[in-house]
Chains A and B, each alone.
Chain A
Amino acid sequence: MTDTEAAAHPTDPFDPHALNTSEGLNPVDLRYVHVLRVTTALNLVPIAIAASVFDALLIRHLEGPYGLITALAWLIAILMIVSFPARRMQRWGYRIGEGQLRVARGWMFRTDTIVPFVRVQHIDVGQGPVERWFGLSHLIVHTSGTHNSTVTLPGLPADLAAAMRETIRRHIQTDFA
Chain B
Amino acid sequence: MSDAVLSVSDSVGAEPNWQRLHPATLALAIVKLGPRSLNFLPAVAALGFTGNWVWIVPAILAFILISLAFAWMNWLRFRFLVGDDEVVIESGIFSRQHRTIPFDRIQDVGIEQGLVARALGIAKVGFETGAGGAGKENEANLDAISLDAAQALRTTIRAHRGGAAAPVAAAAPSAGDAPAAAPIAEHEDRLLFEMGPRRLLVAGLFNFSLAALAVVGAAMQFFDDLLPFEFNMFDPGDWIDLAGQYGLDQWVIAHRWIAGLGALVSLLLIGFVSGIATMAFANWGFRLMREPRSLRRTRGLTTRTDVAIPVRRVQAAILVTGWFRHRFGWHQLRLQSLASDGGKEKDHEVVPFARLDEIDPVLGEIAIPRPGEEVDWQHSHRIVALGGFVGAVGVTLGGLAAVSFGQPLGWLGPVAGVLIGLGSLFGARFHLWVDLGDRVAIRRGLWKPKTTLLPHASVQSADLKTDFILRPLGLATLVFGVPGGSSLASHEIPAIPRTVAEELRTRILAAKTRG
Chain A positions near chain B (C-beta within 8 angstroms): 3-5, 7-10, 100, 108-116, 118-119, 121, 143-149, 151, 173, 175-177
Contact = CB atoms under 8 A, between A and B. Distances in A.
Interface residues of B, number: 41
A149 B481 contact: yes
Contact of A4 (B312, B464, B487, B499): B499
Nearest to A151: B461
19 contacts: A109-B468, A110-B466, A111-B463, A114-B509, A115-B460, A119-B460, A119-B513, A144-B132, A145-B461, A145-B483, A146-B484, A147-B463, A147-B479, A147-B481, A147-B482, A147-B491, A148-B481, A173-B513, A177-B313
Contacts of A100: 509
B402 to A, nearest CB: 30
B465 A177 contact: no
Contact of A110 (B313, B465, B486, B490): B465
B474 A146 contact: no
Contacts of B481: 143, 145-149
B480 interface: yes
A4 B497 contact: yes
Contacts of B309: none
B483 A148 contact: no
B107 interface: yes
A7 B487 contact: no
Contacts of A145: 459-461, 480-483
Interface in B317-355: 338
A100 B461 CA distance: 10
Q: Which 10 A-B pairs have the closest CB atoms?
A: A145-B481, A145-B460, A148-B481, A147-B490, A4-B474, A143-B460, A112-B464, A115-B461, A144-B483, A119-B460
B123 to A, nearest CB: 25
Interface of A is mostly: mixed
Contacts of B490: 146-147
Contacts of A149: 133, 481
Nearest to B466: A110
Nearest to A145: B481
B130 interface: yes
Nearest to A107: B468
A9 B491 CA distance: 28
Given A144-B132, A146-B487, A114 B460 contact: no
B460 A148 contact: yes
Contact of A113 (B130, B313, B463): B463
Nearest to B477: A111
Contacts of B463: 111-113, 147-148
A126 B481 CA distance: 23
Given A7-B498, A8-B471, A147-B481, 11 more contacts: A108-B467, A109-B465, A111-B464, A112-B463, A112-B464, A119-B461, A121-B132, A145-B483, A147-B490, A149-B481, A177-B312
Contacts of B310: 177
Contacts of B459: 145
Interface string B474-515: 100001111111110011000001110000010001000101
Contacts of B338: 144
A110 B474 contact: no
B406 interface: no
Contacts of A10: 471
Interface of B: 105, 107, 130, 132-133, 310, 312-313, 338, 459-468, 471-474, 479-487, 490-491, 497-499, 505, 509, 513, 515
Contacts of A118: 513
B57 to A, nearest CB: 50
B337 to A, nearest CB: 12
A144 B133 CA distance: 9
Contacts of B460: 115, 119, 143-145, 148
Contacts of A108: 467-468
Nearest to B506: A114
Given A144-B460, A145-B480, A147-B482, A112 B465 contact: yes
Nearest to A118: B513
A99 to B, nearest CB: 9
A58 B191 CA distance: 73
A146 B336 CA distance: 11
A112 B483 CA distance: 19
A102 B1 CA distance: 59
B164 to A, nearest CB: 12
Contacts of B461: 113-116, 119, 143, 145, 147-148, 151
A9 B472 CA distance: 7
A4 B497 CA distance: 8
Contacts of A115: 460-461
A177 B312 CA distance: 7
Given A114-B461, A145-B461, A5 B474 contact: yes
A101 B94 CA distance: 47
Contacts of A112: 463-466
A8 B483 contact: no
Q: Choose among B459, B460, B461, B513 the residue with the greatest number of A CB atoms under 10 Å from its CB.
A: B461
A111 B483 contact: no
A166 to B, nearest CB: 20
Contacts of A176: 105
Contact of B474 (A8, A109, A147, A175): A8
Contact of A114 (B462, B474, B487): B462
Q: Choose among A111, A116, A146 the residue with the greatest number of B CB atoms under 10 Å from its CB.
A: A146
Q: Choose among B107, B462, B482, B513 the residue with the greatest number of A CB atoms under 10 Å from its CB.
A: B462
Contacts of B513: 118-119, 173, 175
A112 B477 CA distance: 10
A148 B312 CA distance: 22
Contact of A146 (B465, B483, B505): B483
Contacts of B462: 113-114
Given A113-B463, A177-B107, A147 B487 contact: yes
A7 B515 contact: no
Contacts of A113: 461-464
Nearest to B310: A177
A149 B481 CA distance: 7
A8 B498 CA distance: 9
Contacts of B133: 149
Contacts of B468: 108-109
